[in-house]
Amino acid sequence: MSHKAGFVSIIGKPNAGKSTLMNALVGEKMSIITPKAQTTRHRILGIVNEEAYQIVFSDTPGVIKPVYGLQESMMGAVNDSLVDADIILFVTDINERYDESDVIEKLKKTNSPVVVIINKMDKSTQEFVTAKIEHWKTELNPNAIFAISALHDHNVGAVMEYIIEHLPEHPPYYDKDTLTDRNQRFFVTEIIREKIFTLYAQEIPYSTEVIVTEFKEEEKIDRISVEIMVERDSQKNILIGTGGEMLKKVGTYARKDIEEFLQKKVFLQMFVKVIPDWRNRKNYLKRFGYED
């Protein structure tokens, strides 16, 4: 029996709904979903395994114009994922307000099949959807166009069928038991970052990094220690909050999600550290996994 396998890259501007789509396709809460833009910094791979096929989804960072070292490395990940993709899903919000020309440039240069996914169609009219489809036909002439609502799981099945049909014949790339190539520590940091994105104003999340310093698995409980890095004392104070209130809140919400994710009781300790200007310091970027 022949087996299909391939890499599917999901790309698009921040907040177009890439992570929501990926989670709908993978059927597991894989990458973080927050109402704030630009949260997925790493290429998170969600893997769908069936007897006859394996789809490796890669959720790229939102395409942005790089401003500092960290973003340069993020855009590197976007370019890489366009090169090794068997299928590219370009997710665009139907009411797109961002300039997408930088993404379109990248897509015109690629040899991989491109599928345009017009997302959030539940927030629109049928006429507008039809007009958008025509627009993308002229603009990109992609291999296929789907109008969907990732949030309401509308038409996501059709996208999945298209992917399966167009996957190349290939043995599986990953062991069939693996759901994702990221380890548990990674998801713990993602969950904590998601809470920080949700609970704090703009400047805090973007100058924060979370690393797990200890992960002890005991029979009844996992003991996890985490360091949250910020760039300035003022950010540290905001993060901790009056009398530690804010940090406590992050811990409570995060612990609940981590326990659900690990299916186990968790003791979570969090410490806040100031490292001035870490986003431009190579050794820290390396330590946080941004530089290969």
Tell me the residue range of the domain where 188 lies.
Answer: 184-287
Predicted local confidence at residue 160, as pLDDT: 93
- Contact present, 47 and 58 (Cβ < 8 Å): no
Predicted local confidence at residue 129, as pLDDT: 87
Residue 231 to residue 277: CA distance in whole angstroms: 5
Is 46 part of any known ligand binding site?
A: no
Is 6 part of any known ligand binding site?
A: no
Structural domain contains residue 153: yes
What one-letter code names the amino acid at 274?
V
Same domain, 8 and 43: yes
Is 248 part of any known ligand binding site?
A: no
pLDDT over 70 percentage in the chain? 74
Residue 198 to residue 201: CA distance in whole angstroms: 8
Residue 45 to residue 182: CA distance in whole angstroms: 7
Which one has a higher pLDDT value, 173 or 210? Answer: 210
Is 99 part of any known ligand binding site?
A: no
What are the tens digits of pLDDT across the range 94-136?
887 656 676 777 787 778 889 999 988 888 888 888 988 998 8
Which one has a higher pLDDT value, 177 or 218? Answer: 218
Residue 173 to residue 19: CA distance in whole angstroms: 22
- Domain endpoint, select from 108, 133, 166: 166
Structural domain contains residue 175: no
Predicted local confidence at residue 67, as pLDDT: 47
Which one has a higher pLDDT value, 59 or 240? Answer: 240
- Say how many domains are in the chain: 2
Q: What separation in angstroms does the CA of 248 have from each of 47, 133, 270?
A: 34, 47, 9
Is 52 part of any known ligand binding site?
A: no
Domain with 39 in it: what CATH number?
3.40.50.300
Q: pTM value? A: 0.60
pLDDT at residue 157 tops 70: yes
Q: Tell me how many degrees the CA angle 9-11-16 measures, rounded to the nearest 5.
A: 140
Predicted local confidence at residue 79, as pLDDT: 59
Q: What dihedral angle (degrees, nearest 10) is formed by the CA atoms of 137, 140, 145, 151?
A: -120
Is 61 part of any known ligand binding site?
A: yes
Residue 43 to residue 181: CA distance in whole angstroms: 10
Is 15 part of any known ligand binding site?
A: yes
Count other Cβ atoms within 10 Å, centred on residue 43: 20
- Contact present, 189 and 226 (Cβ < 8 Å): yes
Predicted local confidence at residue 190, as pLDDT: 84
Structural domain contains residue 179: no
Predicted local confidence at residue 286, as pLDDT: 61
